[in-house]
A and B are shown apart, each in its own frame.
Chain A
Amino acid sequence: MNIAETGVAKSPLQKAVGHLTDWEGFLLAVLLVTIIANASMSDVFLTVNNQINLFQLSIEKIIVALIMTLIIINAEIDLSVASMMGLAACAFGWLFHHDVPIGLAVPIVILIGALGGSFNAFFITVMGLPSLVVTLAMLIGFRGLARVLVEDRGITDFPEWFDALGQQPLIGPFPLALLIFFALLVFFIVVLHFTGFGRYVYMIGNNKEMAVYSGVAVNRIKATLFIASGTISALAGILFAARVGAVRGDVALGFELDIITMVLLGGISIFGGRGTLFGAVFAMLIVLNLRNGMALANITHHLQTGVIGVLLILSVLLPNMRGMIRQFRESRASAKS
């Protein structure tokens, strides 16, 4: 390396790597260890099919986790996402059963998602209620509406091309949902890390009062995020219906906890203002690879969930312990001098 090179402007990739915090470096290491361990345990792990399959199995969760990352960085939370996925899937099934063409049903359902998100946003921004409370109530409310629509039936007779869209590769080996995930990932990375809107998201998450007094349209940004969350959850619900080829009242039940776990594992602070989408993506990959690897090793689903629970606690405990040790050393050093 010569001196001239250091003067060259950093490429976006180098910038992105520069953004990585210690924690994200740690996640990357965990991810590499997981992949190597998985690859050495199973021959099929590194095949393209398994890699795509690994994404496909939780594709709806990781799509919603993208917008959840922005919401948590904004120091809010949306517990209603999984119920909205369920409501969207059931509304789609209901419309389909009432002879609405799929080409029309999809935009209607996405509109329902936007409306549900606006409903949350209204109570959070205009009424000033905590998002934890509002979205908890809607976790119950949206799920209830989903059950009203399909009752205890299951809707499975979607046309073949629709199921195929959810299950078969669309371009090359990639199915539609995976392409949507990558498109949204790029979109949100740009929005969060390279636009003024993204800076405001961080600013509000760090200190809402300061943002208000700096003239940031706090409520408008919060409302945008919640409406986006409802919309994307509805889209994820339709993708779920297409992938599974069936809709029931309990579609995506309990997904909100998995989604939030992925985001928090990615080093995004639950108090807002800290963390990046890169961390969230590493955490998604870790969760997906761990689950896939453990499934290949015949470890039960419940035990997998327990392991991820432990990982979640460790993800905050380890950096905390490092801070405590540093503090302890400093206090000893200052006591000596």
Chain B
Amino acid sequence: MNRWSIADLSPQALRLLALLAVMVLVILFFGTQIDRYYSTRMFNRVSTSVAIMALIATGQALVVLTRNIDLSVGSIVGFTAYAVGGVVTRFPDLNPAFAIGAAVLTGAAFGAFNGFFVAYARIPAIIVTLGTLALFRTFLVEYSGAKSIITADLPEWILSLPRTNLFSIGNLDIRLTFAVAVIVVVVVHLAVTRLRIGRKFYAVGSNPEAAVVAGIDSRRIVFLAFIACGALSGLAGFMFLSRFGNITVVAGLGFELKSVAAVVVGGVNIFGGSGTVIGAMLGAILVGLLDASLVRLQYMSEFWREAILGFLILAAVAIDSVFMRRLFAWRYARREKLQARLSAEGKAKGE
């Protein structure tokens, strides 16, 4: 009874371990299938593309935790990438900090727009963000006047950013953008799990009525979640600009559903209240890893990639649901047994 068992871990910790285990298996599997899979190039390609999606997935996770959804993130990423690209093209000597700050603030402003209508005008999040998905993209198209941002016009510091190394572990280069994304995710994770205001995100998501009764201003929390999601999407938009350089009006198209997929694979409950931000990041990494690996698979046509990805996402969610149900049933049975034994012992002592 006193023996420590892996099943004593919290469901969330188990989930993270399972995700890591799946990731290791995926890496081992593709290592046997693809020549020179364990190369620095592969690592860099996955890590720089994951950096963008991990940030968006983190924002999406915050919103989903509060029992909402943000379908406008793709349009926010596209708009900020284009707008900041336009500004630095015109003013190449601009301070990088200002450009990044502008991206984050632009995203936050869009997020506040969403948050206001969801939290204070009480419109379901799916309706508001379905509307702003179209609206923000329209802003982008009107603002761009059908012109594109071209790599050649961008200042050197932005273009060199994705190639900037922070440090290297052996042969693996940890790129600055990837490190920033991981740090942001860890900070957000600590904030929602350790800070009082962070716990309120979970409270509002798991039971909105109870949260209000407990004296939580749930509207403010939902508002904040959307602002944070917008700000993180804005930062992701900046990274998108630095990674791709060429920005057209379709930048970030479809990111909303990809981020929801990453969040769901990461074990965040789509109905709010449970899941972790780290999980969302691992989900984003897993999806990105599969995406990049399936492309390199020689014997399989590249056209299978999307189909396999879709079915894998469904499999991940289905297995997770079955596994968690089993776990809870097993724990419940164990507790019942324990209680029965304790009460039997108590009776024996009483007599």
Contact = CB atoms under 8 A, between A and B. Distances in A.
A136 B264 contact: yes
A308 B141 CA distance: 15
Contacts of A309: 130-135, 138
Contacts of A270: 124, 126-127
Given A309-B138, A313-B127, A316-B123, A129 B309 contact: no
B341 interface: no
B342 interface: no
B303 to A, nearest CB: 5
A205 to B, nearest CB: 14
A136 B257 contact: yes
Q: Which 9 A-B pairs have the closest CB atoms?
A: A141-B310, A144-B307, A306-B138, A144-B306, A309-B134, A140-B310, A137-B314, A309-B131, A302-B141
A156 B123 CA distance: 44
Interface string A122-134: 0100011110111
Interface stretch (A32-40, A256-264, A288-296): A256-264
A141 B307 contact: yes
B264 A151 contact: no
A284 interface: no
B84 interface: no
Interface residues of B, number: 43
Choose among A137, A260, A270 the residue with the greatest number of B CB atoms under 10 Å from its CB.
A137
A148 B127 CA distance: 33
A127 B322 CA distance: 8
A321 B271 CA distance: 26
B252 to A, nearest CB: 13
A40 B322 CA distance: 60
Contacts of A152: 303
A139 B257 contact: yes
A134 B133 CA distance: 21
B138 A303 contact: yes
A142 interface: yes
Contacts of B121: 317, 320-321
Interface string A101-144: 00000000000000000000001000111101110111111111
B304 interface: yes
Contact of B130 (A129, A140, A264): A264
Interface in A284-337: 300, 302-303, 305-306, 308-310, 312-313, 315-317, 320-321
Nearest to A321: B121
B310 A123 contact: no
Contacts of A133: 264, 270, 314, 317
Given A264-B127, A270-B127, A137 B310 contact: yes
Q: Is the interface of A mostly helix, strand, loop or mixed?
A: helix
A280 interface: no
B123 A306 contact: no
B138 A302 contact: yes
A300 B317 CA distance: 40
Given A271-B124, A313-B123, A129 B317 contact: yes
Given A148-B303, A302-B137, A317-B121, 8 more contacts: A123-B318, A133-B264, A136-B260, A141-B310, A147-B303, A302-B141, A306-B138, A320-B122
Contacts of A145: 307
Nearest to B260: A136
Contacts of B260: 136
Interface in B126-166: 126-128, 130-135, 137-139, 141-142
B19 to A, nearest CB: 16
A5 B264 CA distance: 59
B43 interface: no
Interface string B61-78: 000000000010000000
Contacts of B338: none
B306 A147 contact: yes
B4 interface: no
B94 interface: no
Contacts of B322: 127
Contacts of A123: 314, 318
B306 to A, nearest CB: 3
B301 A151 contact: yes
A248 to B, nearest CB: 13
A29 B321 CA distance: 47
Interface string A234-269: 000000000000000100000001001100100000
Nearest to B306: A144
Interface string A143-165: 11101100110000000000000
A310 B134 CA distance: 9
A127 B141 CA distance: 42
B313 interface: yes
B141 to A, nearest CB: 4
Interface in B228-263: 249, 257, 260-261
A136 B317 CA distance: 11
Contacts of A142: 310
B304 A148 contact: yes
Contact of A305 (B127, B138, B303): B138
A144 B305 contact: yes
Nearest to B134: A309
B304 A313 contact: no
Contacts of A303: 138, 141-142
Contacts of B124: 270-271, 316
B301 A148 contact: yes
Nearest to B125: A270
Contacts of A308: 134
A303 B135 CA distance: 8
B132 to A, nearest CB: 7
